[in-house]
Amino acid sequence: MPTLTPFESRQRLFAHLAAMLAYWRDLPEAQLLAGSPDADPVHERLSGFLFSTLVALDGTASLPGFDLVPRDDDEWPTTSINADVELHAVFPEGITPPKAKNPDGETSPVVLRVFLFGSAACRFRQRP
């Protein structure tokens, strides 16, 4: 029988993600760009946080793995889409769109509509 309630489990997941967010936010820029001095620091921080989030879902020393199960959409499977893979290991390189240019030629954030799992609903099931 589980010792954590669903609420307690969510709180632990949220606390872990918040700690990862703080880590990537506060990482000194010299350390952040040590391997790629010409890289965009914002992109590096966001990529780092995304990677950390995927690792958290895969399971870490402080969290169990979680199954990502789509719901509320007839197009998607109703079973875990990550039961046989580690998400951080299969995340495709180069999938991030480049920054868009506004009419003045300056870069601006790309506004994307991302439809995840139909209505953006999914359920996370803690792996045994």
% of the chain beyond a pLDDT of 90: 61
**What's the rounded mean pLDDT across residues 26-45?**
94
- pLDDT (tens digit, 9 = 90+) per residue, 40-94? 999 999 999 999 999 999 998 889 999 999 988 889 899 999 999 999 999 998 8
**In which domain, by residue range, is 72 found?**
6-126
1: in domain: no
Q: What is the pLDDT of residue 72?
A: 83
3-class secondary structure per residue, 99-125: CEECCCCCEECCCCCCCCHHHHCEEEE
Closest of 16, 87, 95 to residue 51, by C-alpha: 87
State how many domains the chain has: 1
Q: Strand 122-126 and strand 66-70: pairing?
A: antiparallel
111: in domain: yes
- Alpha-carbon distance 12 to 21, whole Å? 14
